[in-house]
Each structure stands twice: as structure tokens, then as C-alpha cells.
Amino acid sequence: MAWPEFEARVKGGDTPVFMPIGSHEQHGLHLPLNTDCLVPTAFAERAAKEVGGVVVPTFVYGYKSQQKSGGGQHVPGTLSLDGATTIGQIKDIIKELARNGARRFVMMNGHYENQAYMVEAIDLALRELRWEGIRDARFVATNYWDFIDKPTIERIYPDGFLGAELEHAGVMETSMMLVLHPSLVRMDRVEDHKPASFPPYDVYPIKGELTPRQGSLSSPRKATKEKGEILLDVCTKGIVGAVRKELAKG
């Protein structure tokens, strides 16, 4: 949009502004490096359509890939930000949007490791906005996978759910990408492999060999378009419900 449309939509403060936050991170042999950008962007677009929101450009880099949730920084193609940079870029844009009149924010995280940094960016932005006399900014912070409820898990994972962390480049992300961007998913490259197994502690430097060779932390083999439709539907409904409940006008 051009600035007059932006002004008309954002200035009054009633329009929910969706901020997708992604990463540039390896996603196995079969998914693109910007998977964590494409998925939350799609959720933001779908939810914004329902609630009359606007979507700002996606943050395309995120916090460092952790071995137990993203395979780790050692896998080629993973380009990440330091924690302070991750926080700073999000906080800066929140404040810029607030300076333009935005007051209702929907944070759409698509990368597990961003969570604490997103929360810190919100907290610092709220504090600094208060210093500027802005006290009515409100946020809904989401990780789309948190909306996947038990009945959905039972439908998608009849053999058991390993947890959101081990879903990195597994059935969940692959299924959604089969719906959203099928031309970017190379199912012919998918290899069935055991889920990653990690000790209940961390060592640094990490032992790269604990990450499955493929880069995915669990096998994407059972991903289907149908599962992707279910996941997209459940999470979109959840996000829309949260925005309606928490960011209603007045």
C-alpha cells in the first residue's frame, strides 16, 4: 500500500497490526530456508483478513537456531541474529508503528527460538512508550503451534506427538508448506529417520552430530496436504479468536 492507505488504516489505533517474525534457518533436505517466515506470514494474512487487520513486512531473520529446536547454527544456510539485535529490530518497529498511531499489535512468531526475544521486545517497547506518554498499546503475542489442541494432535499424529520443538522440518511444518507453497517442498528428497534424541542438558560448543544428518528433527514422511489444511484451519481460528477477545475496540 502507499502511505495514504497506511495512514487511513493505522492512524486511529483501532486496526490490529500483524507482525510476522521468522528466521533464516535450515529446514531439512526438503523445505526452504525461509519456512519460518512463510508460515507465520500466511497466518497473519489469513487472520488479518478475518479481523480487518494489516500485515507489516515479515522479520526475515531471527534468533540463533538451537540444536534441540532448530538443528543448530552449524547447519549450512542458517543465518541468525544475536539476541540484542533480535530484540532491537522488533522493538524499533513496534515503536515506529506506535508513532504512526498503531495501538493494537498481533505478534506472529514462526520460529521457536524467537519467543523470549519477542516478549522482551514487547516489554521494552511498552516501557519506552510509557515514557513517551503512550499508555494504551496492547499486544497479543502468539506462537501459532500453541493453538494446536489435543483433538487436532490426535488427528495429525495417530502414532504420538513428539512436541513442538522436535517438529522442526517435520510433519507439522511440511504439511502446512504443502498447502501454502507446494512448489517449494521437495517431497522426493524426504528421508524417513528417527526423531533426534538429546540429553536433558546442553553442552557448548554443541555436538553437531546429535542433529540428524538431514536437518529435520523428526521425519517429515507422514506430512500431507490434508494435515496441513487442518493445522492451518485450527491455528487461524485460534489466532482470530485471541485477537477478537483481547484487542476488541474500546
Q: Does 36 bind Zn ion (CB under 5 A)?
A: yes
Q: Does 113 bind Zn ion (CB under 5 A)?
A: no
Q: For residue 37, report the phi and psi dihedrals to the nearest 5 degrees.
A: -90, -45
| DSSP letter (8 states) at residue 204 | S
Q: Do residues 97 and 9 touch, judged by C-beta distance below 8 A? A: no
Query: Which of 103, 94, 107, 93 lies closest to 134, judged by CA?
Result: 103
CA distances from 127 to 14, 106, 137, 246 (A): 21, 18, 10, 20
Among 20, 21, 34, 36, binds Mn ion (CB under 5 A): 36
What is the maximum alpha-carbon separation in the chain? 56
Q: Does 167 bind Zn ion (CB under 5 A)?
A: no
Whole-number minimum distance, CB 65 to Zn ion, in Å? 9
For residue 113, indicate whether it is catalytic: yes
For residue 209, indicate whether it is catalytic: no
Q: Does 71 bind Mn ion (CB under 5 A)?
A: no
For residue 25, indicate whether it is catalytic: yes
For residue 27, indicate whether it is catalytic: yes
Whole-number minimum distance, CB 148 to Zn ion, in Å? 14
For residue 24, indicate whether it is catalytic: no
Report the residue number whose CB is nearest to Mn ion: 111
Whole-number minimum distance, CB 6 to Mn ion, in Å? 29
- Residue numbers at the binding site for Zn ion (CB under 5 A): 36
Catalytic residues: 25, 27, 36, 111, 113, 168, 173
